[in-house]
Amino acid sequence: MNKNINKLLNALSQQKGFVTARQLAEIVGVTERSIRNYVNRINNTTKDQNVIISSREGYILNKKICSNYLNNKIYETIDDKLLFDIAIILTDTDEYIKLEDVSNKLHYSSESIRVKVQKLFYKIKKLGLNIKIDSRIFTGIKLIGEEKDKRILIEELVPIQNFSKDSLINDLNNFLSKITNIDELNLYCNEVINKTMINYHFTIGYLAYIKLIVHIVILKYRISNGNIVNCKNCYNVNDICSFAEFKLSQNLAKQLKFNNYDKEIYMLTYYLLSLPINFSENDNIRDNHTTINICETLLKTEKNFDLPLFSCEKYRTQIKNHISRAINPIKENIPIFNPYFSELKHEYLFAYVIASYIYDDLKNKLNIVNIPESEIAYLSIHIQFILNNHSSPVINALLICNCKKIEVELIKSKIEIFFENIKVQNIMSSIDKLNNSNYDLIFDANNDHKKDVNNNMVYISRNFSSNDIQRVQRYLETIGTSKIISQIDYYKLNEKNSIDAIKYMLTKSGYLHLLNFFLERESMSTTDIGNLTAVPHPFLKSGFHIPKAIVGINESSILWGEQNVRLIILYIPSNKLEVNKRFFRDIYVHINDITIVQQLLKSQSKLEFIKIWNQERGY
């Protein structure tokens, strides 16, 4: 699928309402005309309804049919198949082969083959594979590398999102015709994978199911040609035997008749560990060097985030088992398959921060070079579950009300019934009697509003209506963050890359000594979150106590990871979990709407930026 069309669909999926062509053009990094062409191209692939609805207000995703659209064969896969077939020819030989010979085999011009080989080179580089394309004048080209990496390359060239559910076998047969046939595909799907799923009581998503079919086709083809993998054996035999995936791998190897190759069974186990497979029963992973290090990291993370990742046995076991499974494919540089990575990184922003911290601490302990962002996103699902179930701290509140005692008690009772974590500790008849503001929240039910007395004050009516409840809820979601926004540093800048932008903002605000912490975080996983926004921050380690936000609006878009960015919200975290959690939640609420982002980008001063930000909060 066209990369820019992917960006367009991803941008539209994040919006609540209509988005203009101009806004989309800035997000995707193309012209408005290109956006209109992409929309027409997408809509022309469906008959009755458009995938993207157009109006005078702009564009919006038709979510009713979007999922069907994404699961159907959208574009012709001729170019994808040509690249795949070239890779098969290059991996099938240990000798140099001339481009003319490749073009003759595939019936394409030498120039077309040369362009595709260049594209193959960039694909290898992007995947970080231990493969190189060696080229010699008058001799030809040769693919040099490990068998495992060659298989990964071949598999990553298969556009699994283009295969229709209704004609899966035929689509796969057409694309993989160089290495399999329809009889083999029927055997692998119906007799091997489907029956194994029933016998071993596991489920798997549709795209992962296609990945598994493709992997088995490639595995069988390569073994039949005498190409055997050589894996690192990251675990000893006793450890790997505890995984349900190992037993599944043994069964598949027996059915596919390669069970006499131990290293192939180990490698298939590692591959299965990289897929989101759900077993009906949890396996019991043995304690070993890896699990001990994971537990040490969870204890450290719990202390820094005040989140029961270690002390709660249920959470500790869940995360320990998840990471233990992921370590092998990560060490073998097998891609962790996660088709929902972008959405998870955007929606579970704070959970993603904690997951990044965990893997940063584990990198040196477990001798891991790179942690794929797709795996960090998977771990963030577990973290988000814990955040959702983690009880919020008690909020000490003051109620100001000059009603009769029984009316005051009724208001107090309503507040504490609707919000269990709010405890009204004191009641006063007037704000004038307030000597200090040692309360997390102040309710003012009097009519003589005195603006800006306290930034933790919420005005309510004496009957505590539904509007009051909504107002309190909005405040609770951002409690402690309004002060951060009110004290932002605000800069206009014109930098060309993300590192220079971070360095400029830290220097201007006097935090340059933290630069390495920010760069360390970016090296783990870039902090772009979509909608032209990035939220760079250091790993949340002990030592940072006073939270600080620095806002930068860049004159033009910067490529930040794989996203275009203009709004930079640099955050130096608090040592309080709830403050950080709410601040990231506050960012998500604002950045989720491109219209608000555009308004923030047009701001000309700190005060104007804060005013726009607070309007969305309803303050």
The tens digit of pLDDT for each residue in 149-195 reads 999 999 999 999 888 888 899 999 999 999 999 999 999 998 899 99
In whole angstroms, what separates CA 574 from the centre of its chain? 23
Residue 201, pLDDT above cutoff 60? yes
The residue with greater pLDDT, 220 or 437, is: 220
The residue with greater pLDDT, 4 or 508, is: 508
Residue 72, pLDDT above cutoff 70? no
pLDDT at 619: 47
Reduced to 3 states (helix: H, G, I; strand: E, B; else coil), residue 294 is helix
Whether 309 and 372 have beta carbons less than 8 Å apart is answered as no
Alpha carbon distance 201, 213 (integer Å): 18
Mean pLDDT of the chain: 86
CA angle 93–94–99, rounded 5-degree value: 60
Topology of domain 483-617, per CATH?
Mannitol-specific EII; Chain A (3.40.930)
**Which percentage of the chain shows pLDDT scores above 70?**
89
Alpha carbon distance 301, 618 (integer Å): 34
Mean pLDDT of 331-360: 89
Adjacency order of strands within the sheet including 528-530: 489-493, 548-560, 563-572, 533-534, 528-530
Looking at the domain covering 3-68, what would its CATH class be?
mainly alpha
Q: What is the dihedral of CA 554, 556, 562, 567, to 10 degrees?
A: 30
**Least-confidence region, from 240-244, 270-274, 391-395, 546-550:** 391-395
CATH of segment(s) 289-389: 1.10.1790.10
The tens digit of pLDDT for each residue in 292-326 reads 999 999 999 998 888 899 999 999 999 999 999 89
pLDDT at 75: 39
The residue assigned the tokens 């070993």 is 288
Mean pLDDT of 59-80: 61
Q: Which of 475, 496, 491 is nearest to 569 (CA)?
A: 491
- Out of 3.40.190.10, 1.50.10.20, 1.10.1740.10, 1.10.10.10, the CATH code matching 78-156 is 1.10.10.10
Domains 3-68 and 78-156 share a fold: yes
In 489-564, alpha helices (H): 498-509, 515-524
Whether 123 and 156 have beta carbons less than 8 Å apart is answered as yes
pLDDT at 449: 55
Amino acid at 411: I
- Under DSSP, the state recorded for 190 is I
The residue assigned the tokens 């609540």 is 16
- Under DSSP, the state recorded for 335 is P
Architecture of domain 395-477: 3-Layer(aba) Sandwich (3.40)
Can you state the angle between helices 515-524 and 498-509, rounded to 10 degrees?
Answer: 150
Q: Is 347 exposed, middle or buried (0-12, 13-18, 19+ CB in 10 A)?
A: middle
Characterize the bridge pairing of strands 58-61 and 52-55: antiparallel
As given in the structure block, the two tokens for residue 171 are: 């689509």
The tens digit of pLDDT for each residue in 38-55 reads 888 887 766 667 888 888
Q: What is the dihedral of CA 220, 222, 223, 227, to 10 degrees?
A: -170
What Rg do the C-alpha atoms of the chain give, in angstroms? Answer: 28
Binning pLDDT at 50, 70 and 90, where does residue 74 land? very low
For the chain, what is the largest distance between any 2 Cα atoms, rounded to a whole number of angstroms? Answer: 98
Alpha carbon distance 282, 286 (integer Å): 13
Binning pLDDT at 50, 70 and 90, where does residue 71 land? very low
Residue 419, pLDDT above cutoff 90? no
Q: Read out DSSP for 93-125? A: -SS-B-HHHHHHHHT--HHHHHHHHHHHHHHHH
Residue 13, pLDDT above cutoff 70? yes
Q: Which helix (H) or strand (E) holds 330?
A: helix 313-331
Whether 358 and 302 have beta carbons less than 8 Å apart is answered as no
Query: What are the residue ranges spanned by the domains of the chain?
Result: 3-68, 78-156, 160-279, 289-389, 395-477, 483-617
pLDDT at 127: 87
**Least-confidence region, from 208-222, 295-309, 447-461, 583-597:** 447-461
Binning pLDDT at 50, 70 and 90, where does residue 65 land? low
Distances (CA, A) of 564 to 29, 182, 532: 7, 43, 6
Residue 251, pLDDT above cutoff 60? yes
Whether 245 and 277 have beta carbons less than 8 Å apart is answered as yes
Binning pLDDT at 50, 70 and 90, where does residue 137 land? confident
Binning pLDDT at 50, 70 and 90, where does residue 80 land? confident
Whether 119 and 85 have beta carbons less than 8 Å apart is answered as no
Mean pLDDT of 394-423: 89
Distances (CA, A) of 11 to 40, 68, 157, 311, 493: 17, 18, 25, 39, 25
